[in-house]
């Protein structure tokens, strides 16, 4: 140090000593000691518990714990486990229980067994989450910070579950014999809960193994048919081993749920007694818990509050809903597969990481083959399969056929197989890419982490956009003599624009849009996308449908069956299109309303400024070949449309607008309000129709089947949108009639009713708005 100091004296101002293996960039990770913001030790303003020094003391008893103390430790441990599964670091949650760091010293047998069981459960849960690979950094922190060895030692769940049973039985015997207080029966509930959770995970793993290994890997062509008319041997659908394992999982789920309920009913027993004034216990109040014990092992961070959670440790309700109603079997029809996928997506949207991981492993085993092999799961063909049975290509072809049933014809699979040479290669490659993209990228979009979801949507769009041209080429290869017929192109376009719409909508929940960006967002949600979503996509099928109707002969049985078949299969996606159309009307109406509010002076901060990233993601905008030409035209129409509705100088030039977007000459904001009113009315009617249709179809299905209308259109809340449409329709109608016109009655947008579409609220006049109105009076109405 002295040598260093004397050498440093020779440095000039601004000169630095730097070692080649330790740059300034590396030095940024340095922590200044005694700096309160950086040195976590400065927060230690009291004596803290230590696993070695405090063990056996009054604050960390190793034996003779009362039933309340024992319950407190166990309940707090389960709450910490739930917190860890919710994204907290293990050091600040699970391992603040110092008993886990000195298990062998614990003399109280139930507590010792419980701690072993907790570590085992931690390791098992971590295995499931790591295997599923569906979490992001913020959702789950897998690091155990040096406690891996302790967790690995407790990984023998068969031994642990036996020990838990033994401890449970021992307590029962001792309570009966009067050796232990009756309150120890509550301890038995905790031990049973832990045991049932471990058994559940064990059975779950067995079920995954059975799903991957049993039954016929290749289902016949008639499997996953669009209608249920195909005759399929049901023995092929269910693997006996998988069915048996699933039944066992359900039993364990019920057992765990029942134990969970018992624990929840007695939580207050273990909580620290009120009024305890021992300063040493003020920190936490539970034996052996020290939230500051591991602080120095973490980077500088504020300790997060970890308190008893009333939620279940492994989110059993979510799993129960899925496993009770869905057997791990192949699906005989596309409708059933679609419904099941919709259920998975719907449950995943709000499920914590553990439940989401289980769902992911059920519907689509991950691609890490080596990991799967290590865990004893054999996928057979070495590629991911839906629910262990359906290949991505099979899913894709059924999905395409469902989307464009008339253009697809009777046997799409055969048509694809009949292609030769380069066309066949293109078909194989495209089907695999598209199928995998839809399975591996679309389904994991449904998670609670909305920020990452937006990034994943962007990545998904990046993956799908380049396939646009390939889809066009494949359509031409399949139907060389019929240019009107398109299959893969409209299907891909549908998904691309649906994902683009989701990408735009995701910005609302993340509060990414400033007020001046709202017009461009609503424009894209309305006319920008929907114009050729609704025209381009269904064009091919509609043309053929019209042709079929012309040739339909109601007097022949075959023709009537044929006609009925096509009517049935269209229901699935027709409903989607109806929902999208209704959303389109509402977005367009909101755009017009914003234009009117701006021109009326009620919202001055609304000049339409577009984001450089358009239409959905910045990279897509730089590849014009990937975008249909109309989309660029529509996008550039935004500024023109905005200007034409907010500038009133008596000269209107709508010539640049597409037909249908041109409007009649208007001279006042009242006309634009009237236009907005008409659009809101259209939106209301369309939304009411969609919601009524969804209600009637949901009523006819079993109570557990998700509504297709709500699950697969993200963030759809039909009732809220209807409320917005109705309210705004009234407001714009009043404004069109001249009620509270002008800037002296400012308006604001209220997103509390619906997160994506605001309710327009007129505010009381303020001094500022009155002054502004007076200043603007000579040039009001743009004249």
What H or E segment, with its residue span, contains residue 654? none
Taking CB under 8 A as the rule, does residue 177 contact other proteins?
A: no
Q: Please say which residue, 440 or 452, places its beta carbon nearer to other proteins.
A: 452
Q: How far is the CB of 7 from other proteins (least distance, A)?
A: 18
Whole-number Å distance between alpha carbons of 487 and 490:
6
Nearer to other proteins, 428 or 517 (CB): 517
H-only helix segments in 444-570:
450-464, 468-478, 488-509, 518-523, 529-551, 557-569
CA dihedral sign, ordered 106, 111, 112, 116 = negative
Rounded to the nearest angstrom, the gap between the alpha carbon of residue 342 and the centroid of all alpha carbons in its chain is 12
Closest CB to other proteins among residues 517, 643:
517
Q: Is the Cβ of residue 554 or residue 612 nearer to other proteins in the bound state?
A: 612
- Provide, rounded to whole angstroms, the least separation between the CB of residue 75 and other proteins: 25
DSSP structural state of residue 761: E
Can residue 143 be called a binding residue for other proteins (CB under 8 A)? no
Whether the Cβ atoms of residue 141 and residue 87 lie closer than 8 Å to each other: yes
Identity of the residue, 38 or 217, whose beta carbon is nearer to other proteins in the bound complex: 38
For 407, the enclosing helix (H) or strand (E) is helix 405-408
- Structure token pair of residue 498: 């649906």
Examine residue 37 and tell whether it contacts other proteins (CB under 8 A).
yes
Radius of gyration of the chain (CA): 32
If binding is defined by CB under 8 A, does position 350 make contact with other proteins? no
Scanning 31-39, 164-172, 274-282, 468-476 for contacts with other proteins by CB under 8 A, the matching segment is 31-39
Q: Which residues contact 222 (CB under 8 A, 6 or more apart)?
A: 230, 231, 232
Piece in contact with other proteins (CB under 8 A), picked from 26-34, 185-193, 254-262, 382-390: 26-34
Residue number with CB closer to other proteins (506 or 588): 506
Structure-token pair, residue 620: 């897509």
CB closer to other proteins, 31 vs 768: 31
| 690, 719 Cβ separation under 8 angstroms | no
Q: Quick check: 414 binds other proteins (CB under 8 A)? A: no
CB 75 within 8 A of CB 263: yes
Whether cis (ω within 30° of 0) applies to the bond prior to 615 is yes
748's enclosing H/E stretch is strand 747-750
Question: CB under 8 A: which stretch of 413-421, 447-455, 536-544, 642-650 binds other proteins?
Answer: 447-455
Give the shortest CB-63-to-other proteins separation in angstroms.
Answer: 38
- Residue 684 CA to residue 698 CA, distance in Å, equals 21
* 27 touches other proteins (CB under 8 A): yes
10 Å CB burial of residue 494 (0-12, 13-18, 19+) is: buried
Element (H, E) at 434: helix 421-437
The smaller minimum CB distance to other proteins, of residues 40 and 188, is found at 40
Comparison of 137 and 750: residue with beta carbon closer to other proteins: 137
Q: Which one among 7, 8, 35, 771 touches other proteins, defined by CB under 8 A?
A: 35
Can residue 274 be called a binding residue for other proteins (CB under 8 A)? no
State the minimum distance, in angstroms, from the CB of residue 619 to other proteins.
9
DSSP label at residue 749: E
Rounded to the nearest whole angstrom, what is the least distance from the CB of residue 449 to other proteins in the complex? 7
- Is residue 16 close enough to count as binding other proteins by CB under 8 A? yes
Element (H, E) at 760: strand 759-762
Which residue among 1, 6, 14, 278 contacts other proteins (CB under 8 A)? 14
For position 17 contacting other proteins by CB under 8 A, the verdict is no
Contact status: 411 vs other proteins (CB under 8 A): no
Binding of other proteins by 612 (CB under 8 A):
yes
Minimum distance, C-beta of residue 303 to other proteins, in the bound complex (Å)? 10
| Residue 295 C-beta: closest distance to other proteins, Å | 13
| Rounded CA separation 308/551 (Å) | 69
Q: Is 764 in the site for other proteins (CB under 8 A)?
A: no
CB 676 within 8 A of CB 585: no
Residue range at the interface with other proteins (CB under 8 A); choices 34-42, 198-206, 355-363, 684-692: 34-42
Q: Which member of 451, 549, 571, 701 binds other proteins (CB under 8 A)?
A: 451
Site for other proteins in 487-526 (CB under 8 A): 510-514, 517
Distance CA 164, CA 193 (A): 10
Binding to other proteins by residue 32, rule CB under 8 A? yes
Any contact of residue 701 with other proteins (CB under 8 A)? no
Near other proteins by CB under 8 A: residue from 127, 221, 455, 462: 455
Tell me whether residue 481 or residue 511 sits nearer to other proteins (CB atom): 511
User: Nearer Cβ to other proteins, position 47 or 138?
Assistant: 138
Rounded to whole angstroms, how far apart are CA atoms 359 and 132? 9
Are 186 and 155 in contact by the 8 Å Cβ rule? The answer is: no
Instruction: Determine if 695 is a binding residue for other proteins (CB under 8 A).
Output: no
DSSP string, 50-91: -TTTSTTSTTS-SS---HHHHHHHHHHHHHHHHHHHTT--GG
Q: How far apart are CA 695 and CA 673, in angstroms?
A: 32
The answer to whether 518 touches 459, Cβ cutoff 8 Å, is no
Q: Segment contacting other proteins (CB under 8 A): 32-40, 157-165, 655-663, 721-729?
A: 32-40
The size of the interface with other proteins (CB under 8 A), counted in residues, is 32
What minimum distance in Å lies between the beta carbon of 301 and other proteins?
5
Q: What phi, psi does 298 have (nearest 5°)?
A: -105, 160
Q: Nearest Cα to 224, choosing from 73, 97, 387, 353?
A: 387
31, 235, 629, 774: which one binds other proteins (CB under 8 A)? 31
For other proteins, the binding residues in 535-594 under the rule CB under 8 A are none
Q: And the tokens for 231?
A: 């005759």
Beta carbon of residue 677, minimum distance to other proteins (angstroms, whole number): 31
302 touching other proteins, by CB under 8 A? yes
Q: Does 459 bind other proteins (CB under 8 A)?
A: no
Please choose, out of 446-454, 524-532, 568-576, 637-645, the segment that lies near other proteins by the rule CB under 8 A.
446-454
Q: How far is the CB of 323 from other proteins (least distance, A)?
A: 30
Q: By CB under 8 A, is residue 4 in contact with other proteins?
A: no
To other proteins, the closest distance from the beta carbon of 499 in angstroms equals 18
Please, which residue, 176 or 304, has the CB nearer to other proteins?
304
Residue 307 binding other proteins, by CB under 8 A: no
Longest dimension (CA), the chain: 107
Where residue 650 falls (left for φ over 0; alpha for ψ -120 to 50; beta otherwise) is: left
Q: Cβ of residue 514: shortest distance to other proteins, in angstroms?
A: 5
Find the part of the chain contacting other proteins (CB under 8 A) among 297-305, 390-398, 425-433, 754-762.
297-305
Round to whole Å and give the CA distance between 516 and 610: 9
Alpha-carbon span 513 to 504, nearest angstrom = 10
Nearer to other proteins (CB atom), residue 35 or residue 107: 35
At its nearest, how many Å lie between other proteins and the CB of residue 92?
12
In whole angstroms, give the CA distance from residue 757 to residue 751: 7
User: What gap in Å lies between CA 209 and CA 361, rounded to an integer?
Assistant: 11
The H or E element that residue 191 is part of is helix 185-213
Does position 138 interact with other proteins (CB under 8 A)? The reply is yes
Q: Is residue 408 within 8 Å of residue 241, measured between CB atoms?
A: no
Q: Applying CB under 8 A, which part among 30-38, 277-285, 426-434, 635-643 lies near other proteins?
A: 30-38
Footprint of other proteins on this chain (CB under 8 A)?
13-14, 16, 24-25, 27-28, 30-32, 35, 37-38, 138, 300-302, 304, 449-452, 454-455, 510-514, 517, 611-612
């Amino acid at each position: 140090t002295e040598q260093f100091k004397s050498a440093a004296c020779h440095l000039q101002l601004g000169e630095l000593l730097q070692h080649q293996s330790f740059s300034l960039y590396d030095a940024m990770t340095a922590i200044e000691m005694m700096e309160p913001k950086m040195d976590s030790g400065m927060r230690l303003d009291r004596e803290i518990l230590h696993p070695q020094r405090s063990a056996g003391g009054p604050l960390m008893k190793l034996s003779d714990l009362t039933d309340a103390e024992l319950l407190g430790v166990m309940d707090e441990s389960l709450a910490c486990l739930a917190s860890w599964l919710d994204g907290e670091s293990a050091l600040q949650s699970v391992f603040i229980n110092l008993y886990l760091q000195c298990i062998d010293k614990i003399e109280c047998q139930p507590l010792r067994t419980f701690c072993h069981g907790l570590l085992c459960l931690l390791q098992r849960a971590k295995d499931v989450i790591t295997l599923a690979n569906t979490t992001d950094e913020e959702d789950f922190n897998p690091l155990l910070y040096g406690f891996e060895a302790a967790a690995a030692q407790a990984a023998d769940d068969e031994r642990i579950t036996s020990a838990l049973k033994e401890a449970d039985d021992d307590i029962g015997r001792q309570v009966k014999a009067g050796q232990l207080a009756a309150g120890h029966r509550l301890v038995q509930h905790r031990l049973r809960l832990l045991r049932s959770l471990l058994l559940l995970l064990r059975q779950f793993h067995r079920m995954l193994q059975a799903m991957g290994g049993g039954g016929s890997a290749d289902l016949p062509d008639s499997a996953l048919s669009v209608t249920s008319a195909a005759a399929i041997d049901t023995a092929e659908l269910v693997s006996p081993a998988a069915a048996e394992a699933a039944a066992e999982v359900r039993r364990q789920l019920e057992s765990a749920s029942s134990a969970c309920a018992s624990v929840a009913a007695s939580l207050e027993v273990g909580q620290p007694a009120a009024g305890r004034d021992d300063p040493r216990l003020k920190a936490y109040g539970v034996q052996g818990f020290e939230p500051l014990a591991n602080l120095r092992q973490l980077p500088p961070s504020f300790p997060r509050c970890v308190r008893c959670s009333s939620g279940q440790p492994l989110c059993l309700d979510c799993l129960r809903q899925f496993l009770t109603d869905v057997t791990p079997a192949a699906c005989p029809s596309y409708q059933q597969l679609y419904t099941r996928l919709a259920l998975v997506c719907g449950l995943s949207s709000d499920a914590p990481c553990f439940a989401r991981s289980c769902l992911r492993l059920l519907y689509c085993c991950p691609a890490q083959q080596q990991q799967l092999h290590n865990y004893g799961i054999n996928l057979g063909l070495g590629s991911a399969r839906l629910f262990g049975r359906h290949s991505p290509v099979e899913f894709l072809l059924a999905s395409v056929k469902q989307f464009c049933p008339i253009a697809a014809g009777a046997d799409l699979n055969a048509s694809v197989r009949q292609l030769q040479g380069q066309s066949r290669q293109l078909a194989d490659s495209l089907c695999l890419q598209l199928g995998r993209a839809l399975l591996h990228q679309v389904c994991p979009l449904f998670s609670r982490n909305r920020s990452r979801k937006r990034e994943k949507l962007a990545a998904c769009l990046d993956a799908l956009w380049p396939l646009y041209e390939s889809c066009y080429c494949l359509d031409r290869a399949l139907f060389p003599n019929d240019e009107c017929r398109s299959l893969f192109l409209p299907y891909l376009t549908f998904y691309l624009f649906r994902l683009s719409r989701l990408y735009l909508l995701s910005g609302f929940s993340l509060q990414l849009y400033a007020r001046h960006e709202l017009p461009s967002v609503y424009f894209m949600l309305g006319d920008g996308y929907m114009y050729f979503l609704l025209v381009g996509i269904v064009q091919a099928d509609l043309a053929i449908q019209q042709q079929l109707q012309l040739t339909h002969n109601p007097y022949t049985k075959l023709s009537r069956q044929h006609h009925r078949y096509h009517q049935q299969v269209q229901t699935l996606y027709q409903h989607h299109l109806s929902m999208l159309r209704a959303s389109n009307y509402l977005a367009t109406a909101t755009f017009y309303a914003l234009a009117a509010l701006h021109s009326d002076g009620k919202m001055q901060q609304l000049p339409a400024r577009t984001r450089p990233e358009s239409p959905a993601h910045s990279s897509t905008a730089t590849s014009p070949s990937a975008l249909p030409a109309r989309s660029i035209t529509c996008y550039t129409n935004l500024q023109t449309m905005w200007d034409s509705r907010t500038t009133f100088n008596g000269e209107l030039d709508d010539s640049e607008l597409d037909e249908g977007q041109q409007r009649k000459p208007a001279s006042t904001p009242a006309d634009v309000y009237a236009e907005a009113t008409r659009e809101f009315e259209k939106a209301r009617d369309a939304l009411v129709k969609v919601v009524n249709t969804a209600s009637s179809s949901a009523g006819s299905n079993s109570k557990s089947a998700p509504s297709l209308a709500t699950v697969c259109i993200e963030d759809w809340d039909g009732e809220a949108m209807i409320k917005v449409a109705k309210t705004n329709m009234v407001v714009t109608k009043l404004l069109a009639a001249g009620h509270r016109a002008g800037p002296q009655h400012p308006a604001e947008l209220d997103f509390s009713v619906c997160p994506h579409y605001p309710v327009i609220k007129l505010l009381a006049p303020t001094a500022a708005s009155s002054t502004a109105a007076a200043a603007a009076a000579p040039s009001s109405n743009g004249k």
